[in-house]
């Protein structure tokens, strides 16, 4: 596989304004969380639960999935104060009682979200590759696409790994409770009201970072294989995106 000379693309600016960041992050973030929720509902529909379809949630229209706080306020505040972007959408309704095999199917429905983020990370990586390959013809648009592609790889990787943590109400917690005997599933389920607080504590104590950073290092190496750019290229571009605006 031929390697792209990532150093030949137009030199990125050293700092992006807040407006630049919003323009770059908005599509990867909104569709990262939208497709995640649609994936849950679509798989549930395949296994017999049409709740999400009847509610009109099997659509890529972001407005149908937007949570005013999780999709708008939190990402903007994080972007403004830290350069880091994360958010969530309204959970797609799933009625486990309608699934053909509730325990097995609920685990698969839960996994559908993180898997969709993994696939989107790959698609955004291909956007980076195409923008690098055709940057001489695309001009300034290539720089925008490269930044947006790196942002897409980053946010979807974070959403995938974060949601796989075995903590309710995250998807990993749903998988865990689906696989455990009913008695133990009930015990784990009691954690759900405190899940967001636990995640916040993990973030503030640096534990969450220790989980996510090795994953991002792996992503950098994977991009070298997948699209032929060096890990340094990925992290330097990401550093501009996450720098204080």
Give CA–CA dist 146/41, Å, rounded: 31
Give CA–CA dist 1/8, Å, rounded: 18
Tokens 């190496």, residue located? 221
Q: Cα 51 to chain center, whole Å?
A: 24
Phi and psi at 161, nearest 5°, equal -70, -45
Among the options 14, 15, 37, 192, which is catalytic? 37
Give CA–CA dist 155/81, Å, rounded: 17
Give CA–CA dist 29/146, Å, rounded: 15
Distances (CA, A) of 224 to 119, 131, 191: 17, 16, 39
- In b/e form, how buried is each residue of 50-87, taking b as 16+ CB within 10 angstroms? ebbeeeebbeeebebbbbeebbeebbbeebeeebebbb
- Indicate if 37 belongs to the active site: yes
Closest CA to 152 of 236, 44, 245, 241: 241
* Residues carrying an active site annotation: 37
């Amino acid at each position: 596989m031929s390697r792209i000379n990532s150093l030949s693309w137009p030199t990125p600016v050293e700092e992006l304004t807040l407006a630049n960041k919003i323009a770059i992050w908005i599509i990867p973030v909104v569709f990262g969380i939208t497709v995640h929720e649609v994936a849950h509902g679509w798989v549930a529909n395949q296994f017999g639960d049409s709740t999400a379809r009847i509610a009109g949630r099997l659509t890529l229209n972001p407005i149908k999935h937007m949570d005013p706080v999780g999709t708008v306020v939190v990402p903007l505040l994080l972007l403004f104060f830290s350069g880091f972007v994360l958010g969530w959408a309204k959970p797609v309704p799933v009625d486990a009682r309608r699934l053909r095999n509730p325990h097995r199917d609920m685990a698969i429905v839960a996994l559908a979200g993180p898997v969709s983020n993994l696939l989107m990370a790959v698609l955004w990586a291909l956007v980076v590759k195409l923008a690098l390959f055709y940057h001489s013809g695309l001009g300034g648009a290539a720089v925008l696409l490269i930044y947006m592609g790196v942002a897409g790889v980053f946010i979807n990787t974070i959403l995938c790994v974060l949601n796989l943590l075995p903590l309710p109400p995250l998807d990993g917690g749903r998988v865990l409770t689906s696989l455990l005997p009913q008695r133990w599933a009930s015990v784990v389920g009691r954690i759900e009201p405190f899940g967001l607080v636990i995640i916040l504590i993990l973030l503030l104590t640096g534990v969450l970072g220790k989980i996510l950073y090795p994953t991002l290092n792996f992503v950098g190496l994977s991009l070298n294989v997948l699209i032929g750019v060096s890990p340094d290229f990925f992290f330097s571009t990401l550093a501009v995106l996450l720098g204080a605006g």
